[in-house]
């Protein structure tokens, strides 16, 4: 296939530092680099003691009633913060209804879950623990479990010194949020380009960046996280087939009960997207190139040709950042009063 006129023009655009500066200036008006460290959430300083506690809770399967499923089961930090299957396997081998979104950089999202039903990470942390299809536990069982383990009781007291009863379901969620705040991926090639390093992106990636902006992708996928800030219908121009957009999942409609929110979803954050197949809330698309083509057709009404898809995909590979280095913690032992697995 012959290169498109857009790509031919784009290839000429990046032959000088001045043109790279122009591209960078345009990009910096739409996107922002990931900061090296996040120190506050909702205006409050993140406590290191709370993050250390949250680190342990993240990997503790005893938060689930089966003692089998932890947060890391469906949001595996070694493979991009998701689980690389269409929908996660939860309690009793049940399959969840939607693809598991990555937790990496989730602190930058305006809301959590595909439908935005949780306003922040603390609220989000409570959902999977209680969902019957996921961890299938209750606040009472979680608190009973944590209080039965003296080492946890001591760590909660240290992390929440002002609380009379520090071991609580709310504090569990807050500690998990404090840990998740650390799960950012700075210094991607794209971030380095935004900061002034011309050679951080190759010419094809620069072409893809220009196309990403010019074709309209950045209208929904913008900001620090290249998405995660707004809600849009899946199928603005043309609704994809039922295998990609199941008719039974009406997205944000289940949250707002507003007809205009049928098949509306939060714009997926695209940071590290190359690490987190399969794609979309249905998890039915395994190749990033195919996902790009579907979005062009469904959201932009544009049949991207092979070269355009390839260039945009190359750009999306450039937004993979430095992955957080997280040790697997040694968890405190259960006691005779710890609730048994169900």
- Condensed to tens digits (0 to 9), the pLDDT of residues 162-177 reads 999 999 999 999 999 9
The pLDDT value given to residue 243: 80
Per-residue confidence (pLDDT) for residue 168, from 0 to 100: 98
Residues 195 and 302 grouped into a single domain: yes
State the CB neighbour count (10 A cutoff) for residue 118: 17
Please name every residue paired with 266 in a beta bridge, in sequence order, or none if there are none. 231
- The pTM for the full model equals 0.91
Q: Is the pLDDT of residue 35 over 50?
A: yes
Helix (H, G, I), strand (E, B) or coil at 279: strand
**Same structural domain, 253 and 296:** yes
Find how far residue 294's CA is from the centre of its chain: 20
Residues 6+ apart with CB under 8 A from 242: none
Query: Above pLDDT 70, what percent of the chain?
Result: 94
Residues 271 and 304 both lie in one domain:
yes
Q: Which of these is catalytic: 134, 155, 177, 180?
A: 134
**pLDDT for residue 83:** 96
Q: What are the backbone dihedrals phi and psi of residue 168, each rounded to the nearest 5 degrees, phi first?
A: -140, 160
Please state the rounded mean pLDDT for residues 259-278: 95
| CA 270 – CA 181 distance, rounded (Å) | 18
295 domain-assigned = yes
Q: pLDDT confidence of 2, banded at 50, 70, 90?
A: very low
Count of H-run helices and E-run strands, the chain: 13, 4
Instruction: Tell whether 55 is in a known binding site.
Output: no
Annotated ligand binding at 295? The verdict is yes
Q: Quote the tokens at residue 326.
A: 């997280």
Q: Is 209:313 a contact under the CB 8 Å cutoff?
A: no
The CATH number that applies at residue 308 is: 1.10.760.10
- Same domain for 100 and 200, yes or no, is no
Quick one: pLDDT band at residue 14, thresholds 50, 70, 90? low
Nearest to 186 by CA among 279, 277, 272: 272
| Residues above pLDDT 90, as percent of the chain | 83
At 31 the three-state DSSP class reads strand
125 and 207 fall within a common domain: no
Chain Cα centroid distance, residue 231: 15
Tell me the per-residue pLDDT of 67-99, one tens digit each, with 9 for 90 and over. Answer: 999 999 999 999 999 999 999 999 999 999 999
Structure tokens at 118: 């949780």
Average pLDDT over the chain, rounded to an integer = 93
Tell me the pLDDT band of 1, cut-offs 50, 70 and 90. very low
Beta bridge partners of 44: 41
Domain membership of residue 259 as a residue range: 16-35+185-318
Find out whether 172 is annotated in a ligand binding site.
Answer: no
User: Tokens representing 173?
Assistant: 């969620």
Structural domains of the chain, count: 2
Residue of 107 and 241 predicted with greater confidence:
107
Please check whether residue 120 lies inside any domain of the structure.
yes
Mean of the pLDDT values across residues 287-315? 95
The CA distances from residue 316 to 16, 76, 165, 298, in Å, are 23, 21, 46, 19
To the question of whether residue 74 is assigned a binding role by annotation, the answer is yes
Residue 123 and residue 193 in one domain: no
157 within domain boundaries: yes
Mean pLDDT of all residues in 233-248: 82
Distance CA 212, CA 298 (A): 15
**How confident is the model at residue 274, as a pLDDT?**
98
Give me the pLDDT at residue 6, please. Answer: 57
How far is residue 173 from each of residues 7, 55, 82, 120, 121, measured CA to CA in Å?
48, 12, 19, 11, 8
Active site residue 289: no
- Please indicate, yes or no, if residue 290 is contained in any of the structural domains: yes
Give the closest residue to 67 by CA, choosing from 148, 3, 11, 186.
Answer: 148
**What is the average pLDDT across 332-338?**
98
């Amino acid at each position: 296939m012959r290169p498109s006129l857009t790509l031919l023009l784009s290839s000429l655009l990046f032959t000088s530092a001045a043109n790279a500066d122009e591209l960078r200036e345009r990009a910096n008006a739409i996107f922002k680099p990931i900061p090296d460290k996040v120190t506050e959430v909702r205006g409050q300083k993140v406590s290191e003691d709370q993050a250390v506690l949250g680190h342990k809770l993240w990997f503790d399967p005893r938060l689930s009633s089966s003692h089998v499923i932890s947060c890391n089961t469906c949001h595996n930090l070694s493979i991009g913060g998701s689980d690389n299957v269409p929908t996660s396997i939860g309690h009793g081998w049940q399959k969840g209804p939607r693809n598991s979104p990555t937790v990496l950089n989730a602190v930058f999202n305006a809301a959590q879950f595909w439908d935005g039903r949780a306003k922040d990470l603390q609220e989000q942390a409570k959902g999977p623990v209680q969902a019957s299809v996921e961890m299938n536990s209750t606040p009472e069982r979680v608190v009973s479990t944590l209080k039965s383990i003296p080492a946890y009781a001591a760590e909660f007291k240290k992390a929440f010194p002002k609380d009379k009863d520090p071991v609580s379901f709310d504090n569990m969620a807050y500690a998990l949020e404090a840990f998740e705040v650390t799960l950012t991926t700075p210094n991607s090639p794209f971030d380095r380009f935004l900061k002034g390093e011309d050679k951080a992106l190759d010419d094809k990636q620069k072409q893809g960046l220009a196309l990403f902006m010019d074709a309209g992708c950045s209208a929904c996928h913008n900001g620090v996280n290249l998405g995660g800030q707004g809600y849009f219908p899946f199928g603005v121009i043309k609704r994809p087939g039922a295998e990609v957009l199941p008719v039974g999942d009406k997205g944000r409609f289940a949250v707002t009960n507003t007809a205009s929110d049928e098949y509306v979803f939060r714009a997926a954050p695209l940071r590290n997207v190359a690490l987190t197949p399969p794609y979309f809330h249905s998890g039915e698309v395994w190749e990033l190139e195919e996902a790009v083509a579907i979005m062009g057709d469904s959201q932009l009404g544009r049949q991207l040709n092979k070269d355009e898809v390839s260039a945009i995909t190359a750009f999306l590979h450039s937004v993979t950042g430095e992955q957080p280095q997280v040790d697997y913690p040694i968890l405190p032992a259960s006691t005779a009063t710890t609730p048994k697995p169900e």
